Amino acid sequence: MTKATKVIALRKNRKQVPEPTLRRLPGYLFFLEKVREQGVMNISAPSIGKELKCDPTQVVKDLAVTGVKGKPRVGYNTYELCHALEDFLGFNHVNEAFLVGAGNLGSALMAYQEHQTLGLKVIAAFDVDETKIGQHIGNTPVLEYSKLFHLSNRLDVEIAILTTPNNVAQEVAEDLVNCGVKAIWNFTHEILDLPDHIIIQNTSMSSFAAVLLQRLNDSKK
């Protein structure tokens, strides 16, 4: 298989990867980067599974989506696998994003720099609150919301992070789509009604909190 053919195959495979697998891949990458820094050159699926508390068979199946295969009695080369995971996840390419809603959550996301190493860089935030406009949070400028439309004509930004109040989330999301955004990371509780081709990733802090508290309560029974 030529390099070009392999790239095409991986791109096709990426579209078919189940979401649970995609959720696990960053965990593999962070663990492998850690052991690589410790000088580990090769590692087996059972060793990865033991550390991450998952079945070795699942590890092999998950990592197969990168195109990298472990060798018998040797395992995976940590350098090769880290590179393959970064490439598959898109972490080695910076994707610029807008953020709308520079409140407490939005400000925290801007101040958090780690996501830039994951291929996501917030280049501008927008808000209607005059006390926030003109500030820089984590090196990200907070601009007047009306400037979103002007900047979108100049910049080819396809990703937006939505951290607005729930009651304006749908309207803002529609504006973002009209500005050319193709993927929205939605931190609001609003169920967005957008065209089918728009990618929406919902992240509910309250849902995660509910699961955590329920698991804690169950552990006490």
The binding site for NAD(+) comprises 101-106
User: Measured on CA atoms in the order 51, 54, 59, 63, is the torsion positive or negative?
Assistant: negative
**Residue 70: DSSP 8-state:** P
Q: Which of 65, 57, 105, 56 is nearest to 89 (CA)?
A: 65
Known binding positions: 101-106
Residue 54 host element (H or E): none
CA 186 – CA 51 distance, rounded (Å): 32
CA 208 – CA 210 distance, rounded (Å): 5
Phi, psi of 85 (to 5 degrees): -65, -45
CA 88 – CA 209 distance, rounded (Å): 30
Query: Cα torsion for 68, 73, 78, 79, to the nearest 10°?
Result: -70
